[in-house]
Amino acid sequence: LPLKSYYKTLGQHLCATLPVDLPDDQRQLLMFLSGHFDNTHYLHHYFRAGETFRNDEHETAYKHIKKCLKLNPDFSQGFYLQGKILEYSHKLNSAIKAYRQSISQKDVRYFYYHALSKALEQTGQLVEALEMIAKARELQPEEPLLICDEGDLRLARGQTAEATKLYQQAIKLNQE
C-alpha cells in the first residue's frame, strides 16, 4: 500500500471520532494526517474544521466544514461536526438541520441522534427530542448518559415516575 493511500485509509478510519473529542495525542495524529491531503480532499477540510472548532474559531471551522461537505455530500461525520459548530455559534435551527442530515446518511451513530435530541430540547421540542433519544438508545441501549438524558426529558414532561426509573437504571449501569 503506497504511503499516501495508507494515510488516507487511516484518516478515514479515525474519522469515526470527531476531532474535537479526541485526546491530544490522537488529535495531533489527525492533524498530521490532514497534512497528507491537499485542500481538494474532503478530509483535509474536515480535520481543519475540527481543529479550528476546538480553538473556538467557529467562522473558520464553518468555512472548512462547508468545503468538506461540498466535496463529500454524503459524509455523515461532516454534518455532525457542522451541527456542533452551528450549535456552539448559537444557531440552533441551523444546527438541527445539520444533525438531521447526519442521521439521514447510511452510517449513523448514536451520538448523532443524541446531539439532535439535545438541540431539539433546547428549542422546546420535547416530544421529538424523546423520539431521537429513543433512536440513540436503540443503537447504544446501556449508555448511562442517554438514559439520564431520557430521564431529564421525561421529567421536563412531568413523567416523574418514568424519570426516576431511568435514573436508577443509569446508576445501576454506572456501578457495574
Summarize the confidence of residues 131-138 as an average pLDDT.
Answer: 97
Global pTM value: 0.82
Measured between alpha carbons, how far is 51 from 125 in angstroms, rounded to an integer? 31
pLDDT of residue 5: 53
Query: How sure is the predictor about 34, in pLDDT bands with cuts at 50, 70 and 90?
Result: low
Measured between alpha carbons, how far is 79 from 148 in angstroms, rounded to an integer? 25
Measured between alpha carbons, how far is 26 from 36 in angstroms, rounded to an integer? 16
Summarize the confidence of residues 159-166 as an average pLDDT.
Answer: 95
Total residue count of the chain as it appears in this document? 176
Summarize the confidence of residues 32-59 as an average pLDDT.
Answer: 82
pLDDT of residue 102: 95
Measured between alpha carbons, how far is 64 from 48 in angstroms, rounded to an integer? 6
Burial of 165 (0-12, 13-18, 19+ CB in 10 A): middle
